[in-house]
Structure 1
Amino acid sequence: MATRSWIVPGPSQHEITDVARLRVQLVAGAVEVRTHDAPHVWVDVTDVSGNPLEMTVEGDRLTIGYPAIGWDGWVKRLTSYSSSDSARLTVHVPAATETSVATASAAVAITDVAEDLRLNTAAGSVEVTGCHGAATIRSASGRVTVTGQHGPVTVSTAAGRARVDGDVPRASVTTVAGAVEVTTTAETSKVDVATVSGAMRVVLPPGTGVSLSARTVSGAVRLDGQDRKSTGFGATTIEERTEGGICFLGARSVSGDLDVTRVAPALPGS
């Protein structure tokens, strides 16, 4: 397998052909990945501070980042990594490019990618817009926002707020203290939300049936604004079958409230 690598010490532009997979690892700064109609990958590096970046092409995978940190076991390394290294770059890729990004505090923005995404950060914000395929996102404290999604989503965060919306047939969102909001337009969906103290909100299309199992110690359980929490310490279960699809919903919390709302989409200009 042929391998090519080169050092990027400062602002520059790069065209790379025959890439089907992208991997980016940064400390601080920002990375934006967006699609274009060209068959190649175009990398626009606008800022590099500290150590230079390295780009490596191995087979059909392009890797951009700091190899000194190590590509394996990135979680422990990035969380404890103390460095002033920072870079800002935009990567234009064909839509069918599998994408993986890991950062310490660098912000991540992904737009219109059609293949699966794997995004990991310690403290950077994550924004995913208009993507297809499965999105798997892990964050310690960064805010996570997924909008216009077409495909399943898995989000795990400690303190960051997590918001997911789109045509999402399956969503799993877990946080410790951050708030959770999931809005799906899918006719049939499976949603799992869990938190210790953060508020949980799930928005479904009007007329959607609900098969709900919610376990909470002191948090409220509300469906369309009505308190439906069961007495005692057992799970709150609700079965409402309709002809308008169904959401299989599981929720867990200690003190976080759960609000499930079935609303019509907003009219343009409202």
Structure 2
Amino acid sequence: MAAVVDNSDEAMGAVKNNDLVVETAKSESEVFNVQNLVDMFTKLNPLAKEFFPSSYYHDRTKKTDIFNQIPVNKQSDGNENFSNKRGKNNFNQGRRRLNGRGFRAQRDDGIRRTVYVSNIDLTITEEQLASLFSNCGQVVDCRVCGDPHSVLRFAFVEFADEDGARAALNIDGTMLGFYPVRVLPSKTAILPVNPTFLPRSEDEREMCTRTVYCTNIDKKVSQAEVKNFFESTCGEVTCLRLLGDQVHSTRIAFVEFAVAESAILALNCSGMVLGTQPIRVSPSKTPVRPRVTRPTLQ
């Protein structure tokens, strides 16, 4: 075997600089392959990257200090802190996975307690639909939506338990308004509404009956154009809130009319093209509250 440079300190310095000098004493056949020797030292280096979990790299400012605290000998007593760190990190990962499983279980439970209702007459309100299904069990939520491909609408009705959802399937074919409703098991759960946005008084509940929720609005369409669109088709608009962000390619709007009849007519606009996009219109669960103006500092 070839002899490495006698001075070990100089040899280690050369390894760090990837410039190891090897002296041959006998013949060229005994010369070490420098790259293999460097690779060997790298794999045995206790400061190598693979010795550390990914959590150590989140805080770049403390990376160097953490490296200096790790002992060279993995069997030493000082390595207990390192093992605890790994154990804690693995525990957190397991807890995150558990939270994900819990969320999926909660979602699946909501799906089993929900039915999908279609062929809903435009004159039917959410209260009337919930009243129809109240004989099957306790209704905890009812969400009527506009169908852009039909003059009719669809809805999701959620019950307090699965027995109510199974009993609701027997209502399939019942006349509600001018059409027989169709009831099927739901493939999705109802997303909860932020309770701070829900009506807080009788006046706000009355406002909801005059308000529609409009989605898939072209970003190039202005608020004035949205107002003119609904006023020319449905009636006087008393308040309109057009919302959007940089993430979504379209915007949404809450349109409040002077009378509830105009809001019912606005549901017929679902599927009509506004700008370059067909809009979707459904009843609103939240009123359009006036914006709160913050007092300016003097």
Q: TM-score band, normalised by the shorter chain?
A: under 0.3
The structure with higher relative contact order (CA 8 Å, sep 6+) is 2
Q: Which has more strand, going by share of residues?
A: 1
Question: Which structure: larger Rg?
Answer: 2
